[in-house]
Amino acid sequence: MDKKVTIYDLAALLKVSPATVSRGLNNHPSISDSTKKRIHTIAKEQGYRTNKFAANLSKQKSNTIGVIVPRLDSYFMSTVLAGIEQVANKVGYNLIISQSLESEEKEKINARTLLNSGVDALLVSLANETKDYEHLKNYTSRKIPLLFFDRVFNLPNCPTILIDNRAAGYEATTHLISQGCSNLLHISGRLNRSVYKERFEGYKEALQAHNIPFDDTNLLETDLDSTKIKTTIEYIKNSNVKIDGLFISSDNYAANCIKELQKQGYQIPRDIKIIGFNNDPVSEIISPNLSTIEYPGHKMGVLAGESIIAHLNGTINLQSTNSILLRHQLLERESTQKTI
Amino acid sequence: MDKKVTIYDLAALLKVSPATVSRGLNNHPSISDSTKKRIHTIAKEQGYRTNKFAANLSKQKSNTIGVIVPRLDSYFMSTVLAGIEQVANKVGYNLIISQSLESEEKEKINARTLLNSGVDALLVSLANETKDYEHLKNYTSRKIPLLFFDRVFNLPNCPTILIDNRAAGYEATTHLISQGCSNLLHISGRLNRSVYKERFEGYKEALQAHNIPFDDTNLLETDLDSTKIKTTIEYIKNSNVKIDGLFISSDNYAANCIKELQKQGYQIPRDIKIIGFNNDPVSEIISPNLSTIEYPGHKMGVLAGESIIAHLNGTINLQSTNSILLRHQLLERESTQKTI
DNA sequence: ATGAAAGCGCTAACAA
DNA sequence: TTGTTAGCGCTTTCAT
């Protein structure tokens, strides 16, 4: 069982044509059950395994789905990927995963490589940097289904899966206000990514709705990179007004801010109330527990996988779907508790 | 630029043979620079992209590396994967990633699928459950390079990449002892996985070296699944002797234990000193900061990727390498601090 | 330095 | 229900 056995070998053994063997192996309806059985048994016996290269070449499809994410090593992304993998694996699709590391350049290369690899579909969460979308139009122009999740962009015929970031931002902000905050700061990711943009807009709307004035000092646009929170902390300390509420677009960043602020003598939530985003595990480890917005990563992955596969199977037509919104949820915890 | 352009099209345009085009595209030495140039320009101009299926079929290799991990959504694994992806991507290899979810069954299926997909090599970190290795022998018998990382197993000709878990366990334990602990408990993962087994052995050796008796009550074998720490906490509370030192094979689990113990009135590190494993981000978020063993996930991924690729390129022969040990490091933090 | 031609192993349209 | 046959697009040996 070491040399490659092909359908020709099986055909010879069974005195049938290779075509019959091929059909039998693929459970083609027009093959009699008896020969089908014979084919399968001899295949098993001979240790036959189909050569995907040949099948792919012939069918011009690969049973493979490409995925591009900003980074593999983020908790949120890994839960999404776990979800995608789970459904893809179940129905026999392979996943080729690559990361852009937030670089537009790398994202372009990845997109090209995956295209060359003949993926049947592409799932993308965009890099922060990305401003041009030509590399993705190569897919749409070839009718290769393309779906965005989380970091989405509105491209014709490309559905998106995400949560209602605006509403979530609104709720998070409203929560801070209802807990007594009036001098808020929103620490955002790059605003050219719609996820952050919309949270920000929800934030602004909430301020407005509560007659709290907004100006540029109420927003800090960052990379949300925890290794460089110092400038953020400085910003907070040097603020003219005493900031009493922080809405931070990432739990991880928020947790690190809390640690640092505590180190500088701030009491959370007494001096500053903080709400994060994502419901990352750290949010329950940090003291005080971090209030946050639950963001269903695994579910998002499952849904992305299911959607794209259903589309590939022709079960549903994704083109007509514009976007799928997942439910988010405000989780009130200690970091925004009222103090007496 | 929508229809597929093949080397035949290019050949026709250039009045040369397809073979020449193929060689030119692959920078074959026997093609004159001038025609090579012509070929490349026309290829670009026509938007030619090589059909990987055909190339794969012809060459019987895929430029793809398979990866099987227990779970995608663990911080440690995601850093490893990020490392692998980084080097693979750089040299044009694709990564097909799948997860076993700790199930031997699923691992077998994944291995088979990846084999069928024609991966050029396989990187594996084993599921907890796995006890039989036939599914992997399919690779070795076909001379497809197979490399284990982290959760390894000793299979002929399959190199392993890991840290010296025994030494790490020894150091962690010794550290607890030197901080004044004498009634230790080791909370381990499943001992049939060598990583855990060896940490445990290092632990036992350290006890022995310090004349601390060991019996079964000094070990608790678990799944290290943070959703079910209750039994662990019960075990600690109900112990006959007052446990004063905990060596836990996972930071995440350790962090959750700390939270729970604190809830039950324990003071850490005063009542119990705790050391974890991995240097997961939570270890620096939890209060008190968690002492731990630094486990270089990203580096491990990079090394695994580099090794397997070098082997595929024929640069080095991995078969002769048995195992690669990465450096670990004891990180002393608050959770094991002496209290006065 | 280039060309001719035989695969690589499977699929599918068309026949029987 | 099964067989014939012609690809799928690229690589590679053997000629030239």
Scan residues 187-246 of B and list those with Cβ closer than 8 Å to A.
none
CA closest to B79 among chain A residues: A73
CA of B59 to C1' of C2 (A): 22
Taking the C-alpha atoms of residue B32 and residue B23, their distance in angstroms, rounded to an integer, is 10
Taking the C-alpha atoms of residue A20 and residue B72, their distance in angstroms, rounded to an integer, is 40
CA of A193 to C1' of D9 (A): 40
Q: What is the pLDDT of residues B52-111, one digit of tens each?
A: 999 999 998 999 999 999 999 999 999 999 999 999 999 989 999 999 999 999 999 999
- Residue B233, pLDDT above cutoff 50: yes
Task: Note the pLDDT of residue A173.
Answer: 98
Query: Chain A residues with CB inside 8 Å of B69's CB?
Result: none
CATH homologous superfamily of B63-163+297-328 equals Response regulator (3.40.50.2300)
Cβ pairs bridging A and B (under 8 Å)? 143
As to burial, measured by CB atoms within 10 angstroms (0-12 exposed, 13-18 middle, 19+ buried), residue B168 is buried
pTM attached to this predicted model: 0.93
Task: Note the pLDDT of residue B313.
Answer: 85
Task: Note the pLDDT of residue A1.
Answer: 32
How far A213 CA sits from the closest chain B CA (Å)? 34
Structure confidence at residue B168 as a pLDDT band (50, 70, 90): very high
Q: What is the pLDDT of residues B293-330, one digit of tens each?
A: 999 999 999 999 999 999 998 888 877 778 999 999 99
Chain-centroid distance, C-alpha B273: 28
Residue B52 has its nearest CB partner, among A97, A117, A252, at A117
Structure confidence at residue B232 as a pLDDT band (50, 70, 90): very high
Q: What is the pLDDT of residues B147-167, one digit of tens each?
A: 999 999 999 889 999 999 999
Q: What is the pLDDT of residues B193-209, one digit of tens each?
A: 999 999 999 999 999 99
Reply yes or no on domain B165-295+330-336 having CATH 3.40.50.2300. Answer: yes
A238 three-state secondary structure: coil
Task: Determine which helix (DSSP H) or strand (DSSP E) holds A95, and give its type and residue range.
Answer: strand A94-99
Residue A259 has its nearest CB partner, among B116, B142, B285, at B285
CATH number of A7-50: 3.40.50.720, 1.10.150.20, 1.10.260.40, 3.40.50.2300?
1.10.260.40
Match 């399959």 to its residue by tokens. B158
Is A118's CB less than 7 Å from nucleic acid strand D?
Answer: no
| Chain B interface includes A56 (CB < 8 A) | yes
Q: What is the DSSP string of B102-133?
A: T-HHHHHHHHHHHHHTT-SEEEE---SS----
Amino acid at A318: L
- For chain A, domain boundaries: 7-50, 63-163+297-328, 165-295+330-336
Residue B285 has its nearest CB partner, among A81, A94, A255, at A255
Query: Chain A residues with CB inside 8 Å of B70's CB?
Result: none
Q: What is the pLDDT of residues B272-287, one digit of tens each?
A: 999 999 999 999 999 9
| Chain A interface includes B82 (CB < 8 A) | yes
Sequence-separated (6 or more) residues with CB below 8 Å from residue A39: A10, A14, A16, A20, A21, A24, A25, A31
| Chain A interface includes B143 (CB < 8 A) | no
Whether B63-163+297-328 and B165-295+330-336 share one fold: the answer is yes
Q: What is the residue-averaged pLDDT of chain B?
A: 94
Where are the extended beta strands (E) located within A160-244?
A: 160-163, 184-188, 219-221
Taking the C-alpha atoms of residue A242 and residue A237, their distance in angstroms, rounded to an integer, is 8
Intervals of chain A under pLDDT 50? 1-2
Taking the C-alpha atoms of residue A334 and residue A269, their distance in angstroms, rounded to an integer, is 7
